[in-house]
Chains A and B, each alone.
With several copies, the nearest count.
Chain A
Amino acid sequence: MKKLINDAHVVVAESVEGFVQAHADLVKSSGNPEELFVSRAGGAVQGKVGLVSGGGSGHEPLHAGFVGKGMLDAAVPGPVFTSPTPDPILAATKAADGGAGVLHIVKNYTGDVLNFETAAELAEAEDILVKAIVVNDDVAVQDSLYTAGRRGVAGTVLVEKIAGAAAERGDDLDGVLAIATRVNDNVRSMGVALTACIVPHAGKPSFDLADDEIEIGIGIHGEPGRKRIKAVSADETTDLLLTPIVEDLGLSGGEKVVLFVNGMGGTPSSELYIVYRRARSQLEAKGVTVERSLVGNYITSLEMQGCSITLLRLDDELTELYDAPVDTPALRWGA
């Protein structure tokens, strides 16, 4: 394992320290290693619904990269690939509260759900109103009685962006939750890995892929995916991801979408655009309009090579909220 790290145990602490130094105009850290979170440099916005997200580290820029005007108020980075505990989530929730309540944006993993639940209980005991949206956009996982339900993956970025804009617009907690729910109901993703990643404390790849194999339906924690196949061309790989998404969303001609091609961290952006090109032409062939596009590393799996495709079905209000100004370290427009 070769990594630009000093010690597997301080990776998150050192990285967050550098991050807040580099973006001190936008964010600050709690400074407390026991209750580590990142929040807006200016603190909570009075009267605005606060948005808090978090989860295991290793998915950067998610979540801390999305703290700032128009998106999150605070982010809680857990250890690599491990949900943070309730303490820092509670601390972040307090820091994000501007008196209008706080929305927790939680990716659907048992650990995240349980730890955010506990934090929410504790926050309510301190009279902070908390609601949660559990994002579950990954079509690689069947949502059934026999699984922990669909995972939350790249759709989370769009939930954070759009719910963030709704909060900035002045919606109340129920309103922001309703928007977040609408995004979650209309967003679907699926990913592919060309290589596994190495979790610093494990020191070896999360799974072994042969030189001519790819893993379809990969999660963002180096979990193995739905199936392993021989590597195929970028166009064929794209189709393998896109088809289940389009079917699950029930997309039909005339509809409008955000097409979001996300890199898993180790793939050159040039390759992401090759995937984007194919996905776009397949969508256009179905009469679906690609109204907005996002291409890049936004929710990653350390240095994993691969990508995910996300589609969000747009209506006028969601489009307006997507377009609203955002000013964070990792996503910035109109600001």
Chain B
Amino acid sequence: MADTLDIAWATDWVKACAAVVAEHRMELIDLDRAIGDGDHGENLDRGFKAVLVKLEAAEPATVGDVLKLVATTLMSTVGGAAGPLYGTAFLRAAKTADGATIDAAGVADLLAAGVEGIVARGKAEVGDKTMVDAWAPAVEAARAAAEAGKTATEALRAAATAARTGAETTDPLVARKGRASYLGERAIGHRDPGAESSAMLLEAAADVAEGGG
């Protein structure tokens, strides 16, 4: 278990993201069919497939370079709400990671920058039943782990676990942003697709850091 994360982790994470999104494409489509328009899985799958192609051709030097490549590629291939939101998240995260490695505090900074990007664009708050409900607790968990002297990998795992719980908390909510907000009470009982995909991506990050994935 690495104390810090480097570009190899970042590259593997991106690949793991592509794999997890492809694997759960239909699950995310179905979540979005229920309270949205049924394209979330397709959008992310298209985006991360494009990321893999770009990654092949690129020679990133830092974690930040990798994340920036992800950001711009998602921005120009995903579309919909998730494209600009994830794109901005990765773009802001990339800016925090211009060194060779990142430690636990760096993980927390990276995630914090990400969620700030999402909020800057989408204006959602915790409890609005969006991807923010997965990201916000993840940031807190990572920060707590870092302050408790945990490794970067441990911080990531804490973030992933918190994101998973955060995604689950969207189930009983009425949505106040995005397409699901049109449904009023009828969104209750359904998981927000963006929160679910966020949890998946952060779980992939932890898995890869732990040597799995």
Contact = CB atoms under 8 A, between A and B. Distances in A.
A–B direct contact (CB < 8 Å): yes
Interface of A: 34, 56, 78-87, 109-111, 114-115, 117-118, 140-141, 145-148, 151, 199, 201-202, 204, 206-207, 219, 221-224, 226
B46 A147 contact: no
Contact of B182 (A78, A85, A141, A201): A141
A148 B36 contact: no
Contacts of A84: 79
A79 B83 contact: no
B45 to A, nearest CB: 9
A204 B174 CA distance: 25
Interface of B: 29, 33, 35-39, 42-43, 46, 75-85, 121-122, 174, 176-179, 181-184, 186
Contact of B84 (A79, A111, A219): A111
B43 A224 contact: no
A221 B179 contact: yes
B157 to A, nearest CB: 31
B209 to A, nearest CB: 30
A114 B37 contact: no
A223 B181 contact: no
Contacts of B186: 224
Contacts of A204: 33
Contact of A111 (B38, B80, B174, B176): B80
A86 B88 CA distance: 13
B83 A223 contact: no
Query: Chain B interface mostly helix, strand, loop or mixed?
Result: helix
Contacts, number: 112
B33 A202 contact: yes
Nearest to A148: B181
Given A115-B79, A148-B177, A224-B183, A82 B39 contact: yes
Given A109-B81, A202-B29, 4 more contacts: A79-B42, A85-B75, A111-B80, A199-B39
B178 A223 contact: no
Nearest to B83: A85
Contact of B122 (A81, A87, A110, A223): A110
Contacts of B181: 146-148
A283 B182 CA distance: 28
Contacts of B29: 201-202
Q: Which 6 A-B pairs have the closest CB atoms?
A: A114-B84, A221-B37, A111-B80, A111-B81, A110-B81, A147-B181
A95 to B, nearest CB: 17
Given A111-B83, A114-B121, A222 B38 contact: yes
Which of B37, B82, B176, B181 gathers most chain A CB within 10 Å?
B37
30 contacts: A78-B79, A79-B39, A79-B43, A80-B39, A81-B37, A82-B39, A83-B79, A83-B83, A85-B79, A86-B75, A109-B179, A110-B179, A111-B79, A114-B83, A114-B85, A115-B79, A117-B84, A140-B182, A141-B182, A147-B182, A148-B178, A199-B38, A202-B42, A207-B33, A221-B37, A221-B179, A223-B36, A223-B37, A223-B182, A223-B183
Most chain A beta-carbon contacts within 10 A, residue among B33, B38, B78, B184: B38
Given A109-B81, A114-B122, A207-B33, A223 B179 contact: yes
Contacts of A109: 81, 179
Contacts of B177: 110, 148
A292 B1 CA distance: 68
Contacts of A202: 29, 33, 38-39, 42
A222 B80 contact: no
B76 A87 contact: yes
